[in-house]
Amino acid sequence: MDSATALKTPQKIHPHKFTLWVGLGSMIMMFAGLTSAYIVKKNQSTWLQFDLPLIFWYSTAVIVTSSVTMYLSVKAFSAKKIDQYKIFLTLTVALGVLFLVLQAYGFKELEAKHIAMVGPKSNSAASFLFVITLLHMLHVLGGVIALLFILIKAFSKNLSNFSMVPTEIVGTYWHFVDILWIYLFLFYNWIG
C-alpha cells in the first residue's frame, strides 16, 4: 500500500525552478513585444535596410556551441564526473564571454559602415536592433555571472554533496538565452 501511495503523490517543482520559468515567461513576453514593435515600425518610409555583419553569424555559432557544452556539463554533473563537469562548464563560460565580445564587434562594424545605433543620426531600424540585441546581451551576461558562481563552487568544494538544482537552473536559463538568440537572429535576417 505504501508504494501505491508513493506513486500517487504528485511531483512538485522546486521553487527556484518555478521562479525561473516565471522569469523566462516574462522575458518571452518582453522580446515578443519588442519584435512586434520592430515589425510595425518597419513599415515606415524612413526605415533603413541593412544586412547584419558576418560576425553575428560567428556569434550565433559560438552561442549554439556553448549550449552543447552546457548540456555536456549538466550531463557530466549528473553522472558525477566532476572533472568533465568543470571542463565543460569552463568552456561554456569562455564561449559566453566570446559571444558577448563578438556581438560588441558586430556593432562596431555597423558603426564603421555609418549605421548609427543611437543619437541624432540614428535610424529606428538600427536603434531597434541595438536595443533588442543589447537586452539579449545583458541576459547573456547574467547567465555568464550565474555560470561563474557555479564554476567557482565547482572548483572550491567537493561536489559529491551538492544538489543538482543550481546546475539545472543555470543550464535551463543558458539554453533559453541560446534559443532566444537563434529566434532573434532568424528574425533579423528573414522576418524583420
Q: Is residue 84 part of a domain?
A: yes
Q: Is residue 85 part of a domain?
A: yes
What cell does 57 get? 553569424
Residue range 54-110, pLDDT digits in tens: 999 999 999 999 999 999 999 999 998 989 999 999 999 999 999 999 999 999 999
Task: Provide the domain limits for residue 111.
Answer: 51-191
What cell does 80 get? 558525477
Q: Which amino acid is at 129?
A: L
Q: Is-contact 33 127, C-beta < 8 A?
A: no
Please provide the DSSP assignment of 92-131 as one string.
HHHHHHHHHHHHHHHHHHHHHTT--SSSTT--HHHHHHHH
Give Cβ neighbours of residue 111 (< 8 Å, ≥ 6 apart).
Answer: 117
Residue range 126-185, pLDDT digits in tens: 899 999 999 999 999 999 999 999 999 888 866 556 778 889 999 999 999 999 999 999
Q: What is the pTM of this model?
A: 0.86
Q: Is residue 55 part of a domain?
A: yes
Q: Is residue 12 part of a domain?
A: no
Q: How many domains does the structure of the chain reveal?
A: 1
Identify the DSSP state of 12.
P
CATH for 164: 1.20.120.80
What cell does 8 get? 500517487
Q: Is-contact 84 110, C-beta < 8 A?
A: no
Q: Is residue 144 part of a domain?
A: yes
